[in-house]
Amino acid sequence: MQANPIEPGFSSVATVSEVTREYLAKEHLLLINGEWVAGEQGDSIDTFDPATGEKIATVAIGHQADIDKAVAAANAAFISPWSKLSHFERAKYLSKLARLIEDHAETFTELEILDNGMPRFISALTIQNISEMFDYYAGAAQRIEGTTTNPPRHITEVAEALTYTVKEPVGVAGQIVPWNVPISTAVLKLAPALAAGCTVVVKPSEETPLSILLLGELIIEAGFPPGVVNIVNGYGYDAGQHLAEHPQVDKISFTGSTATGRKVIAAAMGNLKKVSLELGGKSPVVIMPDADLSLVVPGVAMATFFLQGQNCMAGTRIFIHESIHDECIEQIAAFARQFVIGHGLKPETFIGPLISKAHRDKVYGYIQKGIEEGATLVCGGNMLAGEGNFIEPTIFTNCTPDMAIVKEEIFGPVMAVQRFNTTDLDEIAAMANNTEYGLSGSVWTTNLSTAHSLVARIRAGQVSINCHGAIGTNIPFGGYGQSGWGREFGQEGLDAYLETKAVTARL
């Protein structure tokens, strides 16, 4: 074990701004039908800072009866007034919320750091992104439009006719959110749903509810009608499962593990609700012999270690051409060794803690497995002593496709490197595609033809060239294979909350 990066006696709660401290000390309830209420059973859970183990807040949890109430409120709000508002009116609410988020940016930033453990630079970026997301979908709401097309022949043979399509909201959307980027994941579901005219029940992760509950306060302040957005914190097997099963929910959007994604699909079958899934990944990073190492070294280190690897897009299967393998690894390892590990509140921190002790132990178990299976440990591999759930950035080389660290999503700071000695793009793509997942990937080369030819062969929803995880509000994101169903962000993210109605009028 290495030394604990947190000084003894450090209190994250004492370190944050007074506004955030006051927010933490408040009673955190469930948002149902525009009001903050205790759950039916009146119980709550504590949330902890994963860097220190310090308790930061107590949050009410909801159960099935609370989900029932939230779904009823969302159904009432859908019928009237939300789905009846003009697109322009809905857009105004979204823009107002974007401004309120900007006004509370520092509190959001601190809450995400405290609740999730993410470093400040990531937290600040995600908060900037969420206000942009509401602005983006405020604009998109105003451009929701159908088409005109040719009426069917059996009608035009006997009469004049007109055929057009209209886009209508799917209805009530259940949104189940994970803990790794809590507020971003909630907003990338909420903003398009609201723009489309849906009403929503959000179930945050029980690990990280705080930023989403703050958003709930701003939703009230922005004047959203009661029931348009409901937030029910609770456990996945209970509140989450009930939401996915609920017969009065028309659509479920889920981000989380592939295993839980399967349960969500099964639960959704009762009323055949629409399902969007963003699941796990084990994304390939292919480094060709002509790659520019000045880009590769920081870029590939970030691909794996960004957000401590608790990132569905993380590039964790690294393929390096033999001719540059050793130099590349030496430089990436040197780069990773200088990452500052510590509390996310400190501006210099690059690597924060993992979300929980259980998750840290799971990640550490994978590191042990990697060693047992014969991979070469180049750097890292240690848990840090103390209450924080820290694990050093870890690099394994000499990995083979059958190893657990190569096959399974670890969701931690663990890079598994394989070397290759061919330039045949089909062979390279076959290695990259040797996974059940297909979320992200990247190709590193200075040859444009190689880059695009290889990208065309990689089976993933997002493939970047000389960068990794190039995500953006306007760029569709989602997975091939067992990484999910459908796309979020961009126009496709909005389409996921819209139905198309075809209308033919015999004139």
Q: Which residues are catalytic?
A: 278
- Minimum CB separation of residue 384 from ligand TXE in Å reads 19
Member of 96, 120, 263, 343 binding ligand TXE (CB under 6 A): 263
Note whether 115 binds ligand TXE by CB under 6 A: no
Q: Which is nearer to ligand TXE, 56 or 279 (CB)?
A: 279
Question: Phi then psi for 161, rounded to 5 degrees?
Answer: -155, 165
Scan residues 401-420 and list those touching ligand TXE (CB under 6 A): 409, 411
Within 125-267, strands assigned E span 148-149, 161-169, 172-176, 199-203, 229-231, 251-255
C-alpha span between 85 and 169 (Å, rounded)? 12
Which of the ranges 80-88, 217-225, 255-263, 497-505 carries the binding residues for ligand TXE, by CB under 6 A? 255-263
Query: How many C-beta atoms lie closer than 10 Å to residue 333's C-beta?
Result: 18
Note whether 278 binds ligand TXE by CB under 6 A: yes
Q: Which is nearer to ligand TXE, 50 or 197 (CB)?
A: 50
Q: Which DSSP string corresponds to 381-433?
A: --BBSSSS--B--EEEES--TTSHHHHS---SSEEEEEEE----HHHHHHHHT
Helix (H) or strand (E) holding 499: strand 498-506
The SS3 of residue 143 is coil
Which of the ranges 4-12, 34-42, 173-181, 210-218 carries the binding residues for ligand TXE, by CB under 6 A? 173-181
Which of the ranges 19-27, 175-183, 321-329, 377-385 carries the binding residues for ligand TXE, by CB under 6 A? 175-183
Query: How many C-beta atoms lie closer than 10 Å to residue 13's C-beta?
Result: 17
Listed in sequence order, the residues at least 6 apart from 158 whose beta carbon sits closer than 8 Å to its beta carbon are none
Give the amino acid at 19: V
Burial zone of 412 (CB within 10 Å; 0-12 exposed, 13-18 middle, 19+ buried): buried
C-alpha span between 132 and 283 (Å, rounded)? 27
Helix (H) or strand (E) holding 87: helix 87-103
Member of 227, 256, 370, 441 binding ligand TXE (CB under 6 A): 256
For ligand TXE, the nearest residue by Cβ is: 236
Note whether 354 binds ligand TXE by CB under 6 A: no
Q: Which is nearer to ligand TXE, 88 or 237 (CB)?
A: 237
Nearest Cα to 340, choosing from 123, 129, 121?
A: 121
Note whether 237 binds ligand TXE by CB under 6 A: yes
Note whether 240 binds ligand TXE by CB under 6 A: yes
- Minimum CB separation of residue 264 from ligand TXE in Å reads 5
Which of the ranges 158-166, 192-200, 276-284, 486-494 carries the binding residues for ligand TXE, by CB under 6 A? 276-284
Listed in sequence order, the residues at least 6 apart from 255 whose beta carbon sits closer than 8 Å to its beta carbon are 176, 177, 178, 185, 189, 277, 278, 279, 312
Member of 169, 280, 393, 490 binding ligand TXE (CB under 6 A): 280
Q: What is the CA radius of gyration of the chain?
A: 24
Member of 236, 284, 386, 438 binding ligand TXE (CB under 6 A): 236
Which of the ranges 50-58, 217-225, 230-238, 344-352 carries the binding residues for ligand TXE, by CB under 6 A? 230-238
Scan residues 199-218 and list those touching ligand TXE (CB under 6 A): 203, 205-206
Residues in contact with ligand TXE, shown as a per-residue x/- string from 442 to 471 under the rule CB under 6 A: ------------------------------
Note whether 353 binds ligand TXE by CB under 6 A: no
First-to-last alpha carbon distance for the chain, in angstroms, is: 79
Using CB under 6 A as the binding criterion, the count of chain residues that bind ligand TXE stands at 26
- Minimum CB separation of residue 141 from ligand TXE in Å reads 26
Member of 2, 44, 75, 257 binding ligand TXE (CB under 6 A): 257
Residues that bind ligand TXE (CB under 6 A): 176-180, 203, 205-206, 235-237, 240-241, 244, 255-257, 260, 263-264, 278-280, 312, 409, 411
